[in-house]
Structure 1
Amino acid sequence: MLVLNSGSSSVKYRLMDMADETRLASGTVERIGEPGGVADHASALRAVADELAGQDLGLDSPRLAAVGHRVVHGGTRFTEPTLVTDEVLDGIRALVPLAPLHNPANITGIEVARDLRPDLPQVAVFDTAFHATLPEAAARYAIDAGTAERYGIRRYGFHGTSHAYVSRAAAALLGREPGEVNAVVLHLGNGASASAVRGGVCVDTTMGMTPLEGLVMGTRSGDLDPGAVFHLARVAGLDTDAIDTLLNKKSGLLGLCGDNDMREIGRRMAEGDADARLAFDVYVHRLRRYVGAFTAVLGRVDVIAFTAGVGENSAAVRAAAMRDLENLGVVLDPVRNAVRAGGPRLVSADGSPVAVAVVPTDEELAIARDTYALAQG
């Protein structure tokens, strides 16, 4: 299986042998459309093909059985991995207004791969699909129902492939089936989201109609009073594009302290930097708020799983987020939490009613598995 993740300015790829799920090749083409980079996504995909051919793993290999593509937005139409046809591709194009920065690049990746290997099954795996199970009470916003229906305004959620993978891996770490486990998954990277997973089924998540809602992120604000947008328009004179840039690219940790790297923020905090401390505290406060909220949604939590760059690597964030939650059944082991290791591991104390785990995410493997299952079926 070849997995392609065509982002707004990069293409990540991984070639997998599904007989034993080994990685045969992987890499990233970056700075697409920028000085020093390739011209466009089509050029990037052809560069991937050339790289694989140089390793005797070319796209013309008879061993290649299918290509799996990450697609950010599936709306309410695409709620599971889908074999790409012309009609499906038209459906993904129709969703571009909901994901204008991501779906066009995803579409280009599919189109080029189909051109290079028209004989192969192409499978779209949607970031929003895992969250399609949200009950209406969690998915709906309290605005005029007709307007919401007309313009597709509802909670879709994102990072779904990661949340699905991590929730299942966390259950396996506990030695239980996913259907037996209630999990809160905290995907903390430059983009960040949380989900409440009841018995393997997502019932709530923090990102909404767009990836802007929810947790504090590297450059995104997360939750914000909508009235602040009107205030910026009326009083500051900012237009919609300027507000969009402010909230998506100049907010979050970057907006609070000038850095969006948690490692640098930690270094600055150790030196007594007040802005860095405030940014960390705002970040953790929002995180703790949602841990409490999702505990209430689930009623019973078996495991809280940290994943992605910050979640997997920042012991300080995990410690601060889990501090003083003994009444919720959470008891962190500070020694285990401080240990750096590569695989899934528990960082909670023995006997903690709620397990706390660090589970490295692997979205490419998850996409490969979904692609393989669909291509075989």
Structure 2
Amino acid sequence: MVAVLVLNAGSSSLKYQVVEPDGTRHLKGLVERVDESGFPAALARMTAELEEAGLSRESLAAVGHRVVHGGPDFSDPVLITDDVLTAIADLARFAPLHNPPAVEGIRAAREEFPDVPHAAVFDTAFFTTLPPASATYAIDAGVAAEHGIKRYGAHGTSHRFVSAAAAAFAGRPLDGLRQIVLHLGNGASVAALRSGRPMDTSMGLTPLEGLVMGTRAGDLDPGVLLHLLRAGLSVSELDELLQHRSGLQGLAGRHDMRDLTAAMAAGDPTAQLAYEVYVHRLRKYIGAYFAALGGVDQVVFTGGVGEHQASVRGAALDGLSAMGLAVDPARNDQPPEGPREISPAGAPVQVLVVPTDEELEIAREVVALLPR
């Protein structure tokens, strides 16, 4: 058995799975309200569950940690040393909500499992090969270089897994395949891929850019922020606005798409507008990436919203039939089980729903790091 304990440490939760590279799962769980007791207590609870499931520490080949931002320092998964951990902590300047809890989770896990290799897998790593024209912001080059300002992307682990899984499901080689992958959850991003390599992606220096999200606005004129600063808002107030009081939450007071669509059905005009803004942004990016790729072979939906909200998928592609993009209503309404095609039979562009599996992808990347 080559089992990897995959940990995803959030600000108030710890998600974990024990998974093998072939997809075999031995345990899956979630510890919530971590902020009240800290990660050492959360890991102690998790370890007790491992033992109850008959999994010893010696049965683990490694511990894999999801880390959102690798900045300019990390372009690949890496075995964690003290220096690596310090670097991840320093990169909190790019992801202040995400990297600090990851660091605390890593510290606690290294104490709990001191004799097991630990590895970090970065959400940004997949996008380190973005073409310069996609990765470069049009600001003073010296300022950008001094502060590490470029497009780093996010959700890279998901985009990597889903793009390969979509090609395999369709029985098509990745080589030459043009894909638009939409990872739609509370956080959301879209990537344009050719031959399994990223050509562009919606998230930027931080996970704030791009699509409308649960609590984040996505694309926003930077002049709005300057205007609000001049109006007296502090940096911390702007951070709170952008991270927690924007997106669907800011527009309609609801960050969950299920709650939003229920409010729409009840006739709430603010929910209707929020939904229309959300879908409009999706269409804009799909059209832009169709152009950037010079056409597309597959459009793939994944993530909680992408996998389960048929209405969002249909609305995102509505009116794009001239580009060969359409969904078959009956196929689109199928129960959300496994990979499936939802485009009409014989459509020039395949539209797929492919469940993501970031934990499996992390496990595979971690095992590839281990000595043979």
Same fold (TM over 0.5): yes
CA distance in 1, matches of 2:23, 2:87: 31
My pick for the range that moved more, 188-197 or 171-180, is 171-180
Match of 2:146 in 1: 150
- Which of 26, 33, 54 is residue 31 of structure 1 equivalent to? 33
- Kept in 2, the 8 Å contact 1:2–1:15? The answer is yes
Match of 1:259 in 2: 254
Matches within 5 A, 1:1-377: 1-18=4-21, 20-34=22-36, 39-58=37-56, 60=57, 62-235=58-231, 237-377=232-372
| Identical-pair percentage | 55
- Kept in 2, the 8 Å contact 1:66–1:122? The answer is yes
CA distance in 1, matches of 2:236, 2:175: 43
Question: Which blocks of at least 5 consecutive residues in structure 2 are unaligned?
Answer: none
Cα 1:353–1:376 change in 2 (3 A) is farther
Letter in 1 for 2:43: L
- Kept in 1, the 8 Å contact 2:178–2:297? The answer is yes
My pick for the range that moved more, 197-206 or 174-183, is 174-183
| CA deviation string 1:73-109 (max 9, x = no partner) | 1112211111122232222222121122221221222
Total equivalences in the alignment = 369
CA distance in 1, matches of 2:82, 2:262: 51
My pick for the range that moved more, 194-203 or 90-99, is 90-99
Q: Secondary structure at the match of 2:60?
A: coil
- Kept in 1, the 8 Å contact 2:79–2:119? The answer is yes
CA distance in 2, matches of 1:33, 1:176: 45
CA distance in 1, matches of 2:362, 2:53: 23
- Kept in 1, the 8 Å contact 2:215–2:245? The answer is yes
| TM superposition shift of 1:339 | 1.2
- Kept in 2, the 8 Å contact 1:157–1:209? The answer is yes
Letter in 2 for 1:67: V
Q: Secondary structure at the match of 2:179?
A: strand
CA distance in 2, matches of 1:112, 1:268: 41
| CA deviation string 1:188-228 (max 9, x = no partner) | 10111100011100111001111111000011011111011
CA distance in 1, matches of 2:173, 2:34: 42
CA distance in 2, matches of 1:33, 1:267: 31
Cα 1:111–1:190 change in 2 (3 A) is same
CA distance in 2, matches of 1:282, 1:17: 40
Q: Secondary structure at the match of 1:141?
A: coil
| CA deviation string 1:215-253 (max 9, x = no partner) | 000110111110111111222x21111111111101101
Question: Which blocks of at least 5 consecutive residues in structure 1 are unaligned?
Answer: none
CA distance in 2, matches of 1:179, 1:122: 32
| TM superposition shift of 1:376 | 4.8
CA distance in 1, matches of 2:234, 2:200: 32
| CA deviation string 1:270-328 (max 9, x = no partner) | 22221111111000000000000111111121100001111011111011101111111
CA distance in 1, matches of 2:204, 2:123: 12
What is the TM-score normalised by the length of structure 2?
A: 0.96
Q: Secondary structure at the match of 1:367?
A: helix
Q: Secondary structure at the match of 2:59?
A: coil
- Kept in 1, the 8 Å contact 2:184–2:304? The answer is yes
Q: Secondary structure at the match of 2:35?
A: coil
Letter in 2 for 1:142: A
CA distance in 1, matches of 2:143, 2:281: 29
CA distance in 1, matches of 2:314, 2:91: 39
My pick for the range that moved more, 86-95 or 247-256, is 86-95
- Kept in 2, the 8 Å contact 1:42–1:108? The answer is no
